[in-house]
Amino acid sequence: MIELSALKADKEVEAIMTMSERQIEVLGFTEHSRRHSAIVSKWSGDILRSLGKSAERVRLAEIAGYLHDIGNGVNRMDHAQSGAILAYKILTRMGMEAEPAAEIMMAIGNHDEQYGIPVSDISSALIIADKADVHKSRVKKNIANVYTANIHDRVNLAAERSYLTVEKEKSIITLHIEIDTSICSVMDYFEIYFGRMKLCRRAAEFLSCRFSLVINGVVLV
> Where do the H-state alpha helices sit in 28-78?
34-50, 55-67
| Mean pLDDT on 161-171 | 96
| Cα Dmax for the chain | 51
pLDDT digits (tens, 9 = 90+) for 55-92: 999 999 999 999 999 999 999 899 999 999 999 999 99
Q: Say if CB 8 and CB 17 are below 8 A apart.
A: no
pTM exceeds 0.85, yes or no:
yes
pLDDT digits (tens, 9 = 90+) for 105-135: 999 999 998 889 999 999 999 999 999 988 7
| Mean pLDDT on 19-41 | 86
Range of the domain at 57: 4-219
pLDDT of residue 37: 93
How many structural domains comprise the chain? 1
Report d(CA 47, CA 126) in Å as an integer: 9
Query: CATH code at 45?
Result: 1.10.3210.10
